[in-house]
Amino acid sequence: MSFHARMKPRAGPRPDPAPDATDVTDPPAVGMLLPSYLESLALVERMHRLLLDVIKDEFERLGVLDVNAVQALILFNIGDQEVTAGELRTRGYYQGSNVSYNLKKLVETGYMHHQRCAIDRRSVRVRLTSEGRRIRDVVAALFERQAGGVLHRQLIGLDELERVNTALRRLERYWSEQIRYIY
């Protein structure tokens, strides 16, 4: 069978969602879990929006108006690495934003260098300029101050935060498996 024949989408209905390891179909159990599950989804979404608002407010306070919160987060997550736009999209930090547009703006404003890959001319590699590193450092300092504030106010301890992260990673893995199954 040729490569293209294998890559053709199958005719017919989409496959059923990935079967779960336990395949729990106990309606009372699902009914008990569902409100907390939906609350968790809403909290994750709200926390992401609040994170962007906190970053935006920090840059407004500093009078830095030529970079938005998503762009600042992109610079923070790139750090000292050299990456492609595709790698940034794959990491998935920027849902709801156009990564290519934001990278173009970051290059135009002098926060990022870009260079076409010698091997694959379609691919562009990006890295931070000294100004981009300055923005990254502002975000890093903001996150460090916030971690200190959380610690000082005793909002959540290290053990509890690690348990939250473990639970979120399990949900992330579950959702990733659901997506991969259909392809």
Q: Which residues have a Cβ under 8 Å from the Cβ of 69 and sit 6 or more positions away?
A: 51, 52, 53, 55, 56, 59
The answer as to whether 90 is a domain residue is: yes
Q: Contact 124/113 with Cβ under 8 angstroms?
A: no
Of 111-125, 132-146, 156-170, the poorest mean pLDDT is in: 111-125
The answer as to whether 174 is a domain residue is: no
Structure confidence by residue, pLDDT tens digits, 19-63 = 554 555 788 888 899 999 999 999 999 999 999 999 999 999 999
The answer as to whether 173 is a domain residue is: no
The answer as to whether 47 is a domain residue is: yes
| Mean pLDDT (whole number) for 115-123 | 77
- Tell the residue number behind the tokens 């998503």, with chain if given: 70
Burial label, 106 (beta-carbon count in 10 A; 0-12, 13-18, 19+): buried
| Mean pLDDT (whole number) for 127-141 | 97
Whole-prediction pTM value? 0.78
What is the domain range of residue 140? 25-152
The answer as to whether 88 is a domain residue is: yes
The answer as to whether 9 is a domain residue is: no
Q: Contact 127/106 with Cβ under 8 angstroms?
A: no
Q: What is the model's pLDDT at position 181?
A: 60
CATH of the domain at 62: 1.10.10.10
Q: Number of structural domains, the chain? A: 1
The answer as to whether 46 is a domain residue is: yes
The answer as to whether 8 is a domain residue is: no
Q: Contact 41/102 with Cβ under 8 angstroms?
A: no
Distance CA 83, CA 124 (A): 8
